Amino acid sequence: MSKGFFHVPTAINEPIKSYAPGSSEREEVLEQYRSYFNGSVDVPLYIGSEEIKTGNTKPMSPPHDHKHIVGQYHVAEKAHVSKAIENCLASRSAWANLTWEQRAAIFLKAAELIAGPYRAKINAATMIAQSKNIHQAEIDAACELIDFLRFNVEYMSQIYEEQPDSAEGIWNRVEYRPLEGFVYAITPFNFTAIAGNLPASAAMMGNVVVWKPSDSQVFSAKVIVDIFKEAGLPDGVINVVYGDPVMITETVLASPDFAGIHFTGSTHVFKELWKQIGNNIHTYKTYPKIVGETGGKDFIIAHPSAKPQQVATAIVRGSFEFQGQKCSAASRVYLPKSLSKEILESVKKDVESFNKPGSPEDMSNFITAVIHEGSFDKLAKYIDQAKKDDNAEIIAGGNYDKSEGYFIEPTVILTTDPKYTTMETELFGPVVTIYVYEDKDWSETLKLVDETSEYALTGAVLSTDRYAIDEATKALQNCAGNFYVNDKPTGAVVGQQPFGGARASGTNDKAGSAQNLLRWVSPRLIKETFVTPTDYRYPFLG
Ligand code: NAD
């Protein structure tokens, strides 16, 4: 039991370092990058207190230099997954009963370790594993993960403070119990911060976790594990397995103690997981919590009153940063005819000003590689198709080369068909498709934006006309969980823009918010009566 009502440190967003030439942080991260790049790491499974090397290994390579090997990771078999579940359950009681301020201290310490001694490590690992340039690595792996940890501790304490009223003679109180069982966290390749946050947010609320990182992110996932260990997270609270996602998931979802899933990844996978959980529903001891943030087909729509240069910059940054591999990346754009020429010329000029895609070690590179061969081949196929189709034209980029790294030039497709395949399908790469509408068709175009995609993650409207902004805000109410006015649709900051989408984009439980943390508890109401009645008769009985 705690012996005080403790206040957690006020969360503040971690300042973003510049990495400008000559800065000490630039030297430090480059040194760490080279050390990782020229080294060889052997990543085990982390189950309970054991680091398990199964001997069945897979190599890890940077996407921008895919023949170069930076280490290997050990692949789990079914028995390891069962063992991870057993370790969760064995650790559950001690962890769930630890006072909340002790849990808070572990994750606050992890945030400070990332801000200080692990900053260069987690950034360099993210540059290598996910081919992020240093700015993209810094805003993700360092700043966003620090923010998730600090703000979630604050939200956790706010949740615990939320208590019911008590009438005279009684005392009502709510305790926010962890789920009865374990949580399964499945994380995507594209954000080191999400990889850390999905298991950590559930663990912070007192849950034990089986965490399955993406195969393409194991290299930076290992740094997260090192940080949590150094921060003092007890063994068995977060158990880490990699390997065949289907086998791992089937094993986890077959457990009667499965109590919740914290997923981020593609829509198709999440729908399958939901189905599997439904099929197993009679197996479980409690109804599992299902939280998933999934795909997007995020839009920018410019009104004829918009400022062309602002629209062009929103397109270039929104579509091409981190090679368009942010779930929030703009990938379909609607421009009014009267502004389209000026905007498209500016976009083309910007795209032509990028260096050719290359390694993040060369800090003049804005664009680096896409994550893996599967993604490269898919993007190349859509680009080739656009080259052939009569209703599409490539107006910038359009080249690709995988001989050394998975390099796709930032590509702009102009289409005359608002339902053209790349206006509807999530490609998850540096490809944006633009449709030009007649200025008089603004209101119809809003309907088009709403109806074109199954997703509803992010979207942006640019305009200087307040009536138009109001109309768009209303017409597009259901097609984005994060809606931006006069900005690009990417770059959500924890504590400021809680993130998540609806429709096929997810359950919209807003990562980095109290709403999300509430999914990982099962409140228990305790009513205590001080003078307990001794006669069943109410006064009305006379
Ligand atoms: P992915 O769906 O391929 O993989 C995500 C995770 O699911 C990985 O750990 C993977 O191994 C696992 N997985 C794959 N197939 C599985 C299966 N059959 N059963 C169980 N697990 C399985 O996604 P990705 O390529 O890593 O990430 C990109 C996707 O994630 C995009 O669709 C993007 O929009 C989405 N995303 C969404 C958000 C959001 O907040 N909405 C954030 C980041 C990424």
The helix (run of H) or strand (run of E) holding residue 318 is helix 308-320
Which atom of ligand 1 lies closest to the CA of 270?
2
Residue pair 139/481 in contact (Cβ under 8 Å)? The answer is: no
Strand partners, 522: 177
pLDDT of residue 355: 87
- Going from the C-alpha of 533 to that of each of 165, 529, 541, the distances in angstroms are 21, 9, 16
Q: Which two tokens stand for residue 65?
A: 């230099």
Contact 211 CB / ligand 1 (< 6 Å): no
Task: Compute the distance between CA of residue 508 and CA of residue 520 in angstroms, rounded to an integer.
Answer: 15
Distance CA 41, CA 36 (A): 8
Please pick, among 14, 144, 154, 293, the residue that the annotation labels catalytic: 293
292 CA distance to ligand 1 middle (Å): 10
Quote the pLDDT of residue 542. Answer: 84
What residue spans of 131-180 are helical by DSSP H?
134-137, 145-161
- DSSP 3-state helix, strand, coil percentages of the chain (rounded to 5)? 45, 20, 35
Long-range contacts of 50-56 (CB under 8 A, 24+ apart): 52/80, 54/80
325 touches ligand 1 (CB under 6 Å): no
Q: Where do we find the tokens 């504590």?
A: 495
- CA 451 to chain CA centroid, Å, is 25
Tokens 């898919």 — which residue? Answer: 378
Of the candidates 327, 361, 409, 426, the residue annotated as catalytic is 327
CA 317 to chain centre: 18
Task: Identify the CATH assignment for 24-294+506-526 out of 1.25.10.10, 1.10.10.520, 3.40.190.80, 3.40.605.10.
Answer: 3.40.605.10
Give the number of the atom of ligand 1 that is nearest the alpha carbon of residue 216: 26
CATH number of 298-485: 3.40.309.10
**Diameter over CA atoms, the chain:** 92
Mean per-residue pLDDT pooled into runs of 10, the chain (542 residues): 89 98 98 98 98 98 98 98 98 98 98 99 98 98 98 98 98 98 98 98 98 98 98 98 98 98 98 98 98 98 98 98 98 98 98 95 97 98 98 98 98 98 98 98 98 97 98 98 98 97 98 97 98 96 89
The answer to whether 78 and 247 have CB atoms below 8 angstroms apart is yes
Helix pair 145-161, 100-115: axis angle to 10 deg: 160
In contact, 151 and 492? CB cutoff 8 Å: no
Task: Give me the sign of the Cα torsion angle 249, 251, 254, 258.
Answer: negative
Name the residue of 189, 211, 376, 490 whose CB sits within 8 Å of the most ligand 1 atoms, as the mutation to test its pocket.
Answer: 189
User: Helix or strand or coil: residue 195?
Assistant: helix
CA-angle at 413, arms to 408 and 414, nearest 5°: 170
Which residue is it, tokens 């397995």?
A: 241
Q: Is 138 a catalytic residue?
A: no
Let me know if 479 is a catalytic residue: no
Name the closest-CA residue to atom 42, ligand 1.
327
Q: Which ligand 1 atom is at minimum distance from the Cα of 212?
A: 9
Residue 265, H or E segment: none
Confidence (pTM) = 0.98
Write down the domain spans for the chain: 24-294+506-526, 298-485
Distance 490 CA to ligand 1 centre (A): 18
pLDDT, position 1: 54
Please, are residues 475 and 443 in contact by the beta-carbon 8 Å criterion? Answer: yes
